[in-house]
């Protein structure tokens, strides 16, 4: 035992031999560390309560941001089998032990309705949801009407239903198409939203029937409050956007992407719109370059390019409005399907941060976000979401400008600040996620900053706070000891240094029955939301960093080791 003690003494840098001197030095180090710790504030507030194994301060709890973890893309196989139950159960229990609030999972259209129109098979997902519920975790379910495979981070292939693709063999214009005629089979073109081409149904009707079937077959999980969020896929990668930068067609970062409106249905709609505007001669852009061009190499996006002309502005307004109406139509059907359920409906907006600092914002424009220095391309989407009582889920929360290559003229921090500010001004809730896997303090701290841009408020809810954050994603790498220890601290900081709280009402997230959507918003009101406004101010860094916390946790472990040796 004496040898063991000597070994510990050599390993602990705080220790030096000497009884009272040791105690005095340890006490000094603890005090100094607490002074450095940004949020060692819980002990200053006398509102701490205990519930079961959880302990939290009721005032600080109002700063709590729930954290969810995205399950693997192929947790249900393409053949509709849930086959990794034992491994997943252990991982879910480990995640629950560190305090996460729930999980998010793709519910793939290509799996569920694979056998034929309206032939839904929910059995594998019911088994998955049962396991998640038994692990005491909430569920965010994504209505994934897109293909898995071909996007950044896709590691499995799950196409949209074969019987839908078969229709595309005879009518390839059901798919998004670029100017060169390349078809993208990842998601149906919004040009067929109201075309009855699918056994008498339109695309919107197929999505609606799918969501109604989900509600019927998952009614027990919905009624039990296990499913709390329905995220509605509205495009490529489940995001409300055009598939403007497909890796399957050769795109690489930071290419500007291409407009995706050259199928016969969208071409016809544009010609009709141009004719009604008094310009029947106008055609879709033919000068916007190809996927991997830079903005200044194109006539459309260069300085004083086509995008600033009357014709260019008309096209971009039409292109972006079509996307907004697409999202509006699908969310209206989602609201009808889940009205009365105690859930939130949400949709995801993509974080296209490259070329954000270029005058043209080219990558955003090709994706359908008509965002310029003098025009807000995101607040109109937030206004649409507001009529459906929906949450906006935004990506790239982890990214910092300095991490991006200078030639890409990226601005992820400014982009997040703009989008979140606009959504909050529309009085809707905002959630978010990281775009790429991160296991480091810098990534976590940037997420924490965006989750509470003005920091923690000791005596109540902060003025700005995200509704929730989803971490991408559950993987073996996450569970490596070093990564998981830091993730544990990240969860704690998301919760404002409070224990896991099972009652969302305690941090202001009461879930009442979903109300029916409000009346449609006029085009004039939508365009009114494009007026640029100054974003809310952001702190330079989070006041609850995981790196400082990790150091303090290490110090605590060292102190406990000393106590166990000398103060038994």
Check whether 473 is labelled as a binding-site residue.
yes
10 Å CB burial of residue 244 (0-12, 13-18, 19+) is buried
| Cα gap 474→471, rounded to integer Å | 8
Please count the residues of the chain: 568
Q: Is 432 helix (H, G, I), strand (E, B) or coil?
A: strand
Check whether 395 is labelled as a binding-site residue.
yes
| Cα gap 47→45, rounded to integer Å | 6
Check whether 435 is labelled as a binding-site residue.
yes
Tokens coding 415: 């982009």
Q: Is 508 helix (H, G, I), strand (E, B) or coil?
A: coil
Instruction: Kindly name the residue from 113, 239, 364, 426 that is annotated as catalytic.
Output: 239
Looking at the DSSP bridge assignments, the partners of residue 431 are 393, 468
Q: How many CA atoms lie within 13 A of 413 on its CB side?
A: 16
- How large is the angle between the packed helices 85-97 and 123-134, nearest 10 degrees? 30
239 flagged as catalytic: yes
| Cα gap 267→177, rounded to integer Å | 10
Check whether 348 is labelled as a binding-site residue.
yes
Residue at token pair 């000068």:
287
Tokens coding 160: 């949209």
Check whether 53 is labelled as a binding-site residue.
no
10 Å CB burial of residue 513 (0-12, 13-18, 19+) is exposed
Instruction: Kindly name the residue from 113, 186, 231, 433 that is annotated as catalytic.
Output: 433
Pairing of strands 54-57, 102-108: unpaired
Pairing of strands 54-57, 48-51: antiparallel
Please answer whether residues 550 and 486 qualify as being in contact, where contact means their C-beta atoms are separated by less than 8 angstroms: yes
Residues placed in the known binding site for substrate: 106, 146, 154, 348, 353, 395, 434-435, 473
Task: Give the residue numbers annotated as catalytic, written as ranges.
Answer: 239, 433
Residues placed in the known binding site: 106, 146, 154, 348, 353, 395, 434-435, 473
């Amino acid at each position: 035992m004496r040898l063991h003690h000597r070994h510990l003494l050599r390993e602990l840098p705080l220790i030096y031999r000497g009884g009272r001197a040791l105690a005095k030095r340890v006490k000094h180090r603890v005090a100094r560390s607490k002074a450095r710790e940004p949020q060692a504030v819980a002990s200053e507030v006398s509102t701490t309560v205990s519930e079961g194994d959880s302990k939290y301060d009721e005032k600080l709890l109002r700063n709590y941001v729930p954290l969810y973890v995205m399950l693997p893309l192929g947790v249900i196989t393409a053949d509709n089998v849930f086959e990794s139950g034992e491994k997943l159960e252990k991982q879910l229990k480990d995640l629950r032990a560190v305090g996460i609030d729930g999980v998010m999972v793709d519910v793939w259209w290509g799996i569920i309705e694979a056998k034929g129109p309206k032939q839904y098979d929910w059995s594998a997902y019911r088994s998955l949801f049962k396991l998640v519920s038994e692990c005491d975790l909430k569920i965010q379910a994504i209505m994934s009407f897109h293909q898995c495979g071909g996007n950044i981070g896709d590691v499995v292939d799950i196409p949209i239903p074969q019987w839908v693709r078969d229709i595309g063999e005879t009518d390839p214009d059901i798919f998004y198409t670029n100017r060169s005629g390349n078809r993208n089979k990842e998601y149906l073109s919004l040009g067929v939203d109201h075309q009855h081409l699918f056994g008498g149904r339109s695309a919107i009707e197929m999505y609606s029937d799918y969501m109604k079937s989900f509600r019927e077959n998952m009614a027990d999980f919905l009624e039990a409050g296990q499913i709390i969020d329905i995220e509605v896929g509205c495009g490529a990668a489940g995001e409300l956007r055009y598939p403007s930068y497909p890796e399957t067609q050769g795109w690489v970062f930071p290419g500007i992407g291409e407009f995706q409106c050259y199928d016969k249905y969208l071409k016809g709609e544009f010609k009709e719109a141009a004719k009604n505007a008094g310009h029947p001669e106008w055609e879709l852009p033919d000068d916007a370059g190809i996927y991997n061009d830079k903005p200044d190499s194109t006539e459309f996006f260069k300085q004083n390019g086509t995008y600033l002309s009357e014709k260019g502005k008309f096209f971009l307004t039409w292109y972006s409005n079509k996307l907004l109406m697409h999202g509006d139509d699908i969310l209206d059907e989602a609201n009808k399907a889940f009205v009365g359920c105690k859930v939130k409906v949400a949709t995801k907006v993509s974080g296209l941060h490259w070329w954000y600092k270029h005058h043209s914002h080219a990558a955003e424009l090709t994706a359908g976000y008509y965002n310029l220095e003098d025009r807000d391309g995101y607040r109109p989407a937030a206004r649409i979401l507001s009529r459906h009582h929906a949450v906006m889920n935004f990506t790239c929360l982890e990214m910092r400008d300095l991490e991006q290559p200078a030639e890409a003229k990226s601005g992820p921090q400014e982009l997040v600040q703009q989008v979140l500010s606009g959504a909050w001004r529309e009085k809707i809730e905002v959630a978010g996620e990281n775009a790429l896997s991160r296991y480091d303090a810098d990534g976590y701290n940037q997420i924490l900053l965006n989750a509470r841009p003005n920091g923690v408020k000791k005596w109540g809810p902060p003025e700005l706070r995200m509704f929730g954050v989803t971490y991408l994603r559950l993987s073996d790498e996450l569970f490596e000891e070093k990564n998981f220890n830091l993730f544990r601290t990240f969860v704690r900081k998301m919760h404002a240094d409070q224990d896991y709280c099972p009652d969302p009402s305690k941090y202001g997230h009461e879930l009442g029955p979903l109300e029916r959507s409000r009346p449609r918003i006029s085009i004039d009101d939508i365009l009114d939301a494009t007026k640029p406004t100054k974003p809310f101010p952001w702190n330079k860094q989070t006041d609850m960093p995981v790196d400082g916390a990790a150091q303090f946790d290490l110090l605590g472990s060292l102190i406990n080791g000393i106590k166990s040796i000398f103060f038994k």
